């Protein structure tokens, strides 16, 4: 997972679309808002952002950079106001600069290749396709690169302690809102050290599992989104942050968090109007091309993460939010359901160990967590998505590749109750029909389920609150060995 902290342009655009549809009142935008260079009026006291006139001459690279430079110049005025909203002080200034789309893409490519070399990307991509989190073969490194380069409007790099503006929407208020998001990441980094918060040193054993890492990203992006929206409300209304403002924001967050990616794309189009910058149009259009296993965790880290932050705020104000960095959530289940899974007491995930396989080289070790199981069932058994993923207690999947190229996934899941485990079993069985067009059989029968694609059979076993699955085996012996050797505690 790319370890930079970005603001998705769709998030900011979606907020404007929702405001427009709800006819939210706003006061005059902050100083400096108004006309954008070469593309028409950007707003007024009644409407802080009006889409640019498509009939005007397209903006040049020079005029775009000029607007970006003007936005960067306004950061000095934004910082003290943001610090007041977030109730944290800046220890020092945060360097910032405009980065062209080409330079940003080159940077992201280099960083992702560093974190996911070619062979690792190929293995993990094949593993995701084998276990059903990708609907077609693809390269995970390329998919993540596509997601970040098309969706990020700006980003903060904790390694260099700088933030970069990448896209330049035709609204000074939108640009300042993006700056507020990235400046919040700067505050987080200065007070809580984002690199230590999101360790990625696999060699030393310090790296977090995929689900735990996703949960921590909910905190960082959710905090930045919550703070960004509060800053936006303060700037647009002149109100102070109080219980009434937070309550109003919570209602809007509920609306955002309930959106599907398809609904968000519609909101984005409504927010930007008929005419938009080519880079921004590419961002909007690309959402539909990004696989859910990549797109949903990224979007949810903002939307659901903001709800997590709001819940923490309700339980202790900004001190409660700060506590998410010293005692962070350990699973996406906690992050998705903070009102019941984190407060007043945490539903801690079970730790699952799977013995090393003797039939090949390990190419993937992952924890789905509730979020990725939601995605799996969204793809293959949508009508059972909620009931199948709720009650998650823990899981682990190990994928190995034999000398002949055959992949075998060993999956262990743990559930809160035997009923939850039975519901998962039924939904997983139901997913076979859509997932394998030529498949046949029953994964929970003695003869298993033949995938029909030459990649072996799937065998499963329900044992109380646990479900064991071997995907790609020749016979049921691998399942018996998995159930015998795996530990759940």
Residues 203 and 228 in one domain: yes
Evaluate whether residue 347 is within a structural domain.
Answer: no
What pLDDT shows up at residue 46?
Answer: 37
Two tokens at 178?
Answer: 């993006």
pLDDT digits over 369-387, tens only?
Answer: 999 999 999 999 999 999 9
Model confidence at 440: pLDDT above 50:
yes
The answer to the question of residue 295 being in a domain is yes
Cα gap 32→37, rounded to integer Å? 12
13/162 same-domain check: yes
Does 381 lie in the same domain as 316?
no
Percent with pLDDT over 90 in the chain: 66
Residues 428 and 388 both lie in one domain: yes
Same domain, 267 and 387: no
Rounded to two decimals, what is the model's pTM? 0.88
Which residues contact residue 227 at a Cβ distance below 8 angstroms, ignoring those fewer than 6 apart?
82, 85, 86, 180, 181, 184
Residue scoring higher pLDDT (69 or 283): 69
- Dump pLDDT digits (tens) for 117-172: 999 999 999 999 999 999 999 999 999 998 888 888 899 999 999 999 998 988 89
99-119 b/e with 16+ CB inside 10 Å = b?
bebeebbebbeebbeebbeee
In a shared domain, residues 25 and 62:
yes
Q: CB atoms < 10 A from the CB of 60, how many?
A: 11
How does pLDDT run across 45-88, given as a tens digit for each residue?
334 444 445 445 567 888 889 999 999 999 999 999 999 999 99
- Give the range of the structural domain holding residue 438, as residue numbers without chain letter: 352-488
Axis crossing angle, helix 243-257 with helix 292-314, rounded to the nearest 10: 160
DSSP-derived secondary structure for 150-162:
HHEEEEEETTTTE
**Average confidence (pLDDT) over 163-182:** 91
For residue 346, tell me if it sits in a domain. Answer: no
In this prediction, residue 211 has a pLDDT band, given cuts at 50, 70 and 90, of: very high
Neighbours of 120 (CB within 10 A): 15
């Amino acid at each position: 997972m790319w370890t930079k902290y970005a603001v998705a342009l769709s998030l900011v655009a979606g907020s404007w679309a929702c405001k427009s549809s709800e006819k939210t009142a706003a006061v005059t935008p902050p100083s400096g808002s108004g006309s954008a260079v070469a593309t028409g009026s950007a707003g007024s006291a009644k409407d802080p952002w009006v889409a640019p006139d498509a009939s005007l001459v397209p903006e040049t690279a020079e005029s775009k950079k000029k607007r970006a430079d003007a936005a960067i110049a306004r950061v000095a005025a934004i910082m003290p106001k943001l610090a007041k909203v977030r109730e944290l002080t800046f220890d020092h200034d945060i360097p910032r600069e405009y980065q062209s789309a080409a330079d940003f893409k080159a940077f992201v490519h280099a960083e992702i290749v560093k974190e996911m070399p070619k062979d690792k990307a190929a293995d993990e991509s094949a593993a995701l396709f084998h276990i059903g989190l990708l609907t077609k073969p693809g390269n995970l490194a390329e998919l993540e690169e596509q997601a970040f380069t098309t969706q990020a409007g700006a980003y903060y790099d904790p390694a260099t302690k700088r933030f970069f503006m990448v896209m330049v929407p035709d609204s000074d208020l939108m640009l300042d809102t993006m700056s507020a998001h990235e400046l919040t990441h700067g505050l987080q980094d200065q007070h809580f050290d984002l690199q230590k918060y999101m360790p990625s040193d696999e060699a030393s054993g310090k790296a977090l599992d995929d689900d735990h890492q996703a949960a921590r990203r909910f905190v960082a992006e959710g905090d930045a989104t919550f703070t960004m929206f509060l800053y936006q409300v303060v700037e647009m209304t002149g109100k102070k942050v109080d219980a009434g403002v937070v309550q109003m924001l919570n209602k809007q967050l509920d609306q955002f968090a309930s959106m599907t990616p398809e609904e968000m794309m519609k909101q984005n189009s409504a927010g930007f109007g008929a005419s938009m910058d080519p880079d921004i149009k590419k961002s909007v259009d690309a959402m539909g091309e990004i696989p859910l296993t990549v797109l949903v965790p990224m979007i949810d880290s903002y939307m659901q993460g903001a709800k997590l932050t709001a819940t923490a705020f309700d339980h202790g104000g900004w001190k409660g939010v700060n506590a998410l960095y010293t005692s962070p959530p350990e699973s996406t289940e906690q992050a998705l359901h903070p009102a019941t899974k984190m407060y007043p007491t945490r539903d801690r995930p079970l730790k699952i160990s799977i013995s090393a396989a003797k039939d090949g080289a390990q190419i993937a070790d992952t924890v789905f967590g509730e979020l990725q199981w939601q995605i799996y069932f969204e793809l293959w058994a949508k009508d059972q998505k909620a009931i199948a993923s709720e009650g998650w207690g823990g899981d682990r999947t190990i994928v190995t590749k034999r000398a002949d190229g055959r992949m075998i996934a060993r999956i262990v899941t743990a559930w809160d109750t035997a009923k939850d485990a039975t519901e998962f079993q039924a939904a997983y069985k139901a997913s076979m029909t859509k997932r394998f067009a030529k498949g046949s059989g029953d994964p929970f029968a003695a003869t298993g389920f033949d995938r029909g694609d030459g990649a072996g059979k799937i065998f499963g076993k329900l044992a109380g609150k646990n479900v064991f699955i071997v995907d790609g085996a020749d016979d049921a012996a691998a399942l018996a060995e998995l159930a015998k050797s795996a530990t759940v505690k």
